[in-house]
Chain A
Amino acid sequence: MPKNIPKKPDNRDDNRPATPVVVACLVAIVALSLIDALVENFQVDKLVYAIIAGILFGVGGLNDLLGRNKK
Chain B
Amino acid sequence: MILVRRIAKQVGDAFILILKRLPMIAIYTLAAFTILTIGSNLVSRYQVSQDKRFYTTTPATHFINYTSFIAQPGREGEDVIYTVCRNHDANYRVDGARTLYIVPEGKTEDARVFVYVKDIKNGVIDAGNCASYFIRDREYHFKPGNYQITLNLCFSVKYDIRKCVNVKSNVFKIREPVGGSPDTQVQINNLQQQLQDLQQILNNLQPPVTQSSNGTPTSAPRSQSATTSPPSVANGTTSPSSSQPATQPSQPQQSQPQPSLIERTLDGIFAPIRGIL
Interface residues of A (CB under 8 A from B): 12-14, 16-18, 20-21, 24, 46-47, 49-51, 53-60
Contacts and interface: CB of A to CB of B under 8 A. Distances in A.
Nearest to B11: A20
Contact of B29 (A14, A20, A54): A54
Given A13-B20, A20-B13, 14 more contacts: A14-B17, A21-B17, A46-B33, A46-B37, A54-B27, A54-B30, A54-B32, A57-B32, A58-B21, A58-B25, A58-B28, A59-B18, A59-B21, A59-B25
Contact of B17 (A16, A49, A50): A16
A59 B33 contact: no
A44 to B, nearest CB: 11
B33 to A, nearest CB: 4
Given A14-B20, A21-B14, A59-B18, A50 B29 contact: yes
Contacts of A51: 29
Given A46-B33, A46-B37, A46-B40, A54 B28 contact: yes
A46 B13 contact: no
30 contacts: A13-B20, A14-B20, A16-B16, A16-B17, A17-B13, A18-B17, A20-B10, A21-B14, A21-B17, A24-B14, A46-B36, A46-B40, A49-B36, A50-B32, A50-B33, A50-B36, A53-B32, A54-B25, A54-B27, A54-B29, A54-B31, A54-B32, A56-B28, A57-B24, A58-B26, A58-B29, A59-B17, A59-B21, A59-B25, A60-B24
Interface string B23-65: 0111111111100110010000000000000000000000000
Contact of A16 (B13, B26, B37): B13
Given A20-B10, A24-B14, A58 B27 contact: yes
